[in-house]
């Protein structure tokens, strides 16, 4: 048995915006799947610890129940044009409510924050640009009226100007709708610009956390994730990484 995530403890406050950073294979997406309930279909298992949301034990709930409880999960780019909430196809009564919400006027729906979708309302999802598909995924997640929105690599594969637009959208949703967000990103610079708190995960463990400003100012984070190379003591960085491996 391979433990993909070990000893990860993350707190997302109500209405907060938290970034989860790390390299490929660090365990970021696995962490989100554990929260949304998508882990079991991939033969994963949470063997120890707890996952709680609003005082409820999520381990006792399946994926659709977690969606109805207020958790929405926007998966990676491959899932942008598929159903992006963890619950799959909802019951008929829920579908009618979702369609009504999508047609609601701006003061009755969160979708007014994604004006480009209204312009492309009759277009097929597969013909939308990468940025529009990501906006569609976020818009569909908002239709479930989540209390927590988890985003997995929303900037992946997008042009720089679209990355700015997506992150501006994320920040506006968080501020205007008060929806808590857990943002997984390899674009650490962009994520730290909008996040309040940040966690750095390596080899399935959280190795650093704090305010976004504190994490961003760390010289090792700057060297490894922000592209900084000025006045870096690489000998100190090497020893720092050795300490982290020793802790693992």
Tokens 């929105």 identify what position? 149
| Rg of the chain (C-alpha set) | 19
Which of left, alpha, beta for 205 (phi over 0: left; psi -120 to 50: alpha)? beta
| Predicted TM-score (pTM) of this structure | 0.76
pLDDT above 90: percentage of residues in the chain: 22
Of the listed ranges 30-34, 58-62, 155-159, 236-240, the least confidently predicted one is: 236-240
Q: What is the pLDDT of residue 148?
A: 94
Predicted confidence band of residue 18 (pLDDT cuts 50, 70, 90): very high
Separation of alpha carbons 178 and 190, rounded Å: 20
**Across the strands, what pairs with 57?**
52
CATH class of 17-217: alpha beta
pLDDT at 23: 85
DSSP state of 90: P
Query: What are the backbone dihedrals phi and psi of residue 148, each rounded to the nearest 5 degrees, phi first?
Result: -130, 125
Enclosing H/E stretch for 241 = helix 234-247
In sequence order, the β-bridge partners of residue 201 are 206
pLDDT in tens, 162-204: 888 899 999 999 998 899 999 998 889 999 999 999 999 988 8
Q: Which residues contact 9 (CB under 8 A, 6 or more apart)?
A: 206
Q: Is the pLDDT at 152 greater than 90, yes or no?
A: yes
Coil, helix or strand for 94? helix
What's the CA gap between 1 and 5, in Å, rounded?
12
pLDDT reported for residue 2? 66
């Amino acid at each position: 048995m391979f433990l993909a995530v070990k000893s990860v403890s993350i707190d997302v406050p109500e209405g907060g915006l938290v970034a989860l950073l790390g390299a490929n294979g660090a365990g970021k997406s696995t962490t989100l799947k554990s929260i949304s309930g998508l882990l079991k279909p991939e033969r994963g298992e949470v063997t120890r610890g707890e996952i709680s949301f609003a005082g409820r034990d999520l381990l006792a709930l399946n994926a659709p129940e977690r969606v109805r409880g207020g958790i929405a999960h926007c998966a990676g780019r491959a899932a942008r044009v598929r159903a992006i909430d963890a619950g799959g196809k909802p019951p008929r009564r829920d579908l009618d409510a979702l369609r009504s919400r999508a047609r609601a006027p701006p003061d009755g729906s969160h979708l007014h924050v994604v004006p480009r979708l209204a312009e492309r309302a009759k277009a097929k999802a597969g013909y939308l640009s990468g940025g529009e598909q990501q906006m569609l995924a976020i818009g569909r997640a908002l239709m479930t009226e989540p209390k927590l929105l988890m985003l997995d690599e929303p900037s992946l594969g997008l042009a720089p100007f679209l990355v700015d637009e997506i992150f501006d959208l994320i920040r506006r949703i968080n501020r205007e709708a008060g929806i808590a967000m857990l943002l997984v990103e390899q674009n650490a610079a962009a994520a730290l610009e909008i996040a309040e708190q940040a966690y750095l995960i390596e080899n399935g463990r959280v190795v650093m956390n704090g305010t976004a400003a504190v994490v961003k100012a760390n010289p090792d984070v700057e060297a490894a994730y922000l592209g900084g190379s000025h006045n870096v003591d690489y000998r100190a960085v090497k020893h720092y990484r050795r300490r982290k491996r020793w802790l693992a």
